[in-house]
């Protein structure tokens, strides 16, 4: 995706490590960084300098290839990288793409690169299939950031939007701000603004009313792990959005590459849900009027928080899964057919 006059992916291989756009600083600062050790790769994933399921998988794949080049112990490195974020199964998928080649550094790097290219190709295909669901004049609602920052290029939920706009359709997007880390207002709104796509940021609690008032035509979100029965884990707040969409009779689609499907997990309730630090809820971060990045506490000093980072949307609420092999039902048969293709 283009930023200014340069093309970027969310993460990339560099001579001395893994380059990435530091997403913690967006939208206020666009800064590039390099992780040049396994510890730095692990920290970038854990601290969410890079985030989004497919991008996490690609970063981990390059991290493992780097460890192979540095002659590190395979089990230890695999374990460190695999434990950085528990919900997005793409992490393991990326590591497993490189693991068989670990003893040959050139082959390991080639495998990481191939995994990167495959995720980008999948994201583009998702856009081609998904854009058929978006009519000209439609308003699309989305949650969190499932754009190119989250999927190396194109995105998952946003890829159909980008493809629909490329095809000349008029599309507007309602972006849930996505508390607590605000990936919607910080990242999705930034991406859409870069691309010149009409959008408005909504407080998370506002979207149900917009659905009920008929102001949204379709909801598309990403996913971090899809169970064998079609249940989908995604950013916290996705489940209430799906409930509200069903109540309003608005289609709710989940867009994800097949690397997000975990056939080893039978039901959504079996998906591990990451619990993150209380401070993400108790504080907000942003730019002061004086132009400085700052963090302020909102809740009383005495208060603790509860901070599950993801929730599970039951398959029954999902109109379909938009994958790189086509749109399939959110069901055991649908998931099986996507993995078979």
Binding site for ligand MRU (CB under 6 A): 51-54, 88, 144, 146, 150-151, 155-156, 183, 222-224, 234-235, 309
- The residue from 176, 224, 231, 262 that is catalytic is 224
User: Smallest distance from the beta carbon of 146 to ligand MRU, in angstroms?
Assistant: 4
DSSP 72: -
CA dist., res. 200 & res. 214, Å (int): 16
Picking from 327, 176, 145, 313, the residue whose alpha carbon sits closest to that of residue 233 is: 313
Question: What residues contact residue 97 under an 8 Å CB cut-off, 6+ apart?
Answer: 61, 111, 112, 114, 115
Picking from 145, 318, 130, the residue whose alpha carbon sits closest to that of residue 231 is: 318
Of 28 and 212, nearer to ligand MRU (C-beta) is 28
Of 108 and 315, nearer to ligand MRU (C-beta) is 315
Handedness of CA 80, 309, 52, 95 (dihedral sign): positive
In DSSP notation, 137-163 reads TEEEEE-S--SHHHHSSS-SSSHHHHH
User: Smallest distance from the beta carbon of 247 to ligand MRU, in angstroms?
Assistant: 22
* Residue nearest ligand MRU by beta-carbon distance: 222
Of 140 and 151, nearer to ligand MRU (C-beta) is 151
User: 208 burial class (0-12, 13-18, 19+ CB within 10 angstroms)?
Assistant: middle
User: Smallest distance from the beta carbon of 34 to ligand MRU, in angstroms?
Assistant: 20
User: Smallest distance from the beta carbon of 201 to ligand MRU, in angstroms?
Assistant: 16
Q: Is 224 a catalytic residue?
A: yes
Of 156 and 313, nearer to ligand MRU (C-beta) is 156
Annotated catalytic sites, by residue? Answer: 224
């Amino acid at each position: 995706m283009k930023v200014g006059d340069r093309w970027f992916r969310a993460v990339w291989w560099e001579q001395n490590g893994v380059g990435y756009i530091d997403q913690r600083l967006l939208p206020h600062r666009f800064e590039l960084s390099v992780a040049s050790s396994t510890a730095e790769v692990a920290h970038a994933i854990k601290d969410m300098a890079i985030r989004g399921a497919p991008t996490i998988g690609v970063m981990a794949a390059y991290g493992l290839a780097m460890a192979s080049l540095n002659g590190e112990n395979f089990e230890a490195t695999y374990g460190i990288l695999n434990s950085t974020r528990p919900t997005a199964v793409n992490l393991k998928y990326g590591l497993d793409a490189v693991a068989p080649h670990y003893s040959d550094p050139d082959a390991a790097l080639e495998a990481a690169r191939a995994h990167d290219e495959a995720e980008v190709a999948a994201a583009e295909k998702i856009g081609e299939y998904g854009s058929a669901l978006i009519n000209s004049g439609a308003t699309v609602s989305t949650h969190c950031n499932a754009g190119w920052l989250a999927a190396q290029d194109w995105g998952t939920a946003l890829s159909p939007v980008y493809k629909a706009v490329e095809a000349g359709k008029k599309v507007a997007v309602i972006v849930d701000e996505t508390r607590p880390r605000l990936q919607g207002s910080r990242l999705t709104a930034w991406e859409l603004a870069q691309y010149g796509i009409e959008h408005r940021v909504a407080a998370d609690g506002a979207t149900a009313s917009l659905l009920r008032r008929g102001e949204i035509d379709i909801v598309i979100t990403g996913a971090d792990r899809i169970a064998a029965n079609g249940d989908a884990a995604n950013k916290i707040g996705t489940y209430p959005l799906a409930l509200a969409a069903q109540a309003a009779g608005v289609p709710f689609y989940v867009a994800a590459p097949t690397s997000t499907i975990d056939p080893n997990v039978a039901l959504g309730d079996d998906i591990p849900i990451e619990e993150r630090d209380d401070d993400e809820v108790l504080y907000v971060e942003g730019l002061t009027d004086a132009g400085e990045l700052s963090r302020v506490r909102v809740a009383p000093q005495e208060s603790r928080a509860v901070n599950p980072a993801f929730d599970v949307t039951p398959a029954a609420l999902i109109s379909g899964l938009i994958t790189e092999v086509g749109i399939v039902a959110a069901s055991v048969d649908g998931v099986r057919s996507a993995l078979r293709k």
